[in-house]
Amino acid sequence: MGDITKQDRTPLLPLRHAQGDFFVCDIFDAAPKGDMASMAHPIFTLSTKPDTKKRRYVATDGKSYVEIRPNMIGLATVHDRDVLIYCISQVMAALNDGKKVHRTLRFKAYDLLVATNRPVAGTGYTGLKAALERLQGTQIETNITTGGVEQIDGFSLIDRYRIVRETRDGRMLDLEVTLSDWVFNAIAGDDVLTLNRRYFQLRKPLERRLYELARKQCGTQPEWKCGLEKLQGRTGSTSSDKEFRRLVKAICKADEEHNHMPDYAFRLEADILTVTPKREFLDTYAAKPQQDRLTGGYILPLSPDTLEQARELAPTWDIKVLVGEWRTYAARQKEPPKNPDAAFLGFCKSWYKKRGRNGW
């Protein structure tokens, strides 16, 4: 609370490395990107202490669920997510450059620390090793229904990690990380969103989680509203209702005073959080959507909720086939759709009406 009430101190972490020092590999353009699948559910704990409590979240339909199980050292934290963001960013940049990619990535620990605004002293390396342990140790189980058949998947966020070289004082030099199929499939399906680099400067885990929700739920729409009770479930906060309200209110107040939250403004009134895109964000993303370097087509991310609705509209079709067909169609239009999710659902409905059950 002290960090927020002091008027002369910004809520953001200091920028530890100059922008020019961010590592860019010869074949990668590593703009920060996160997968929408883990943005949809509170996979990562907000606690800064070891969290060994099992979590289970059930969708509004009462059927789909996600269960997160920690190992003895605790659940992966919101700050551990930095490792996944770095890896996803590298793979996506390679794909955009037409490179072949693999679930196993090899990189220097120093480069990850710099790119994610972490200390490069000894604490940075020990913290990174602990993050890798929690990412591998956290187990996720979820049920997926495709074509009327339920499939239960269990996996870790990363399958394995390996410290290839280590200095005499214990600092990592080279790392190998193998992403889980779940994370890699999200990349292959382009179910990712670009994140503001200031995300890595956010001090509080709840600030990071609120930003993730804003990127997924609000996007470039005029606003997104969410009641505190529902918001608490979406964030995964285990605080009391009163404490959660105080924390959200403090973040909103800090954003009003310092404008520190990236891309979105957060306002709390009558236990309703209202999120609106900031002007600089709209100027960057809404006015001119990003384009694929190879095809020239617009990059049009779709939310996991939209993909689930699409499976209901065209139950016998492979969703990846439909996404590919729609993006090819959208790339031929003079202007990209203002609401990609709504446009894709309309496309699926029309596609199934014309072609029926030929997706078997």
Scanning the structure block, which residue is given the tokens 């994610």?
Answer: 116
Residue in 50, 175, 161 with CA at minimum distance from that of residue 111 = 175
pLDDT tens track of the chain, all 360 residues?
444 444 556 787 776 655 443 323 333 446 788 888 788 788 999 998 999 999 888 876 677 788 999 988 999 999 999 999 999 988 888 777 777 788 888 888 888 898 899 998 888 999 999 999 999 999 999 876 544 556 688 889 999 999 888 888 778 888 889 988 888 888 877 778 889 989 999 999 999 999 999 998 888 788 899 999 999 999 999 999 999 999 999 999 999 999 999 999 999 999 999 999 998 777 766 555 565 555 555 667 777 678 878 888 888 788 878 887 887 787 777 677 778 888 888 888 888 888 776 544
From first CA to last CA, the distance across the chain in angstroms is 56
**Among candidate residues 170, 169, 193, the one with its CA nearest the CA of residue 33:** 193
What's residue 316's pLDDT?
A: 79
What pLDDT, on the 0 to 100 scale, is given for residue 331? 74
**Residue 164: C-alpha distances to residues 129, 136, 179, 212, 248 (Å):** 13, 17, 16, 32, 42
Q: Which phi and psi (to 5°) does residue 139 adopt?
A: -105, 135
Whole-angstrom distance, CA of residue 239 vs CA of residue 242: 8
Cβ within 8 Å of residue 33, ≥6 positions away = 85, 88, 89, 92, 192, 193, 194, 195
Residue 104: how many CA atoms within 13 Å on its side-chain side? Answer: 8
CATH number for the domain formed by residue range(s) 202-286: 1.10.10
Q: Which residue has the tokens 């070289």?
A: 165
- What was the pLDDT predicted at 77? 95
pTM for this predicted structure: 0.75
Which backbone phi and psi does 56 adopt, to 5 degrees? -140, 125
Q: What angle do CA 126, 132, 135 make, to 5 degrees?
A: 140
Q: What is the pLDDT of residue 202?
A: 95
Per-residue confidence (pLDDT) for residue 24, from 0 to 100:
35
- Closest by alpha carbon to 110, among 124, 123, 130? 124
Identify the pLDDT of residue 340. Answer: 83
> Does residue 172 contact residue 111 with C-beta atoms inside 8 Å?
no
Give the whole-angstrom CA distance, residue 15 versus residue 123. 17
